[in-house]
Structure 1
Amino acid sequence: MCESALYLVDKEGEKLIMENVELIEAENGKLSVVDLFGERKEIKGRVKSLSLVDHKILVEPLP
Structure 2
Amino acid sequence: MCEANAYLLKEGREELLMESVDVIEPEDERTWRLVGIFGDRKTVRGRIKSMNLVNHKIFFEEDA
- Length-normalised TM-score, structure 1: 0.91
Counterparts of 1:6-17 in structure 2, within 5 Å, are 6-17=6-17
Structure 1 residue runs of 5 or longer lacking an equivalent are none
What is the RMSD of the two structures over their aligned residues, measured on CA atoms?
Answer: 1.1
* Residue 52 of structure 1: how far off its partner (Å): 1.1
Count how many residue pairs are aligned between Structure 1 and Structure 2: 63
Q: Which letter maps to 2:53?
A: L
Aligned to 2:5: 5
Distance 1:50 1:13 in 2: 16
1:51 partnered with 2:58: no
Q: Which letter maps to 2:18?
A: M
Consecutive aligned runs of 4 or more in structure 1 exceeding 6 Å deviation: none
Overall identity of the aligned pairs, in %:
43
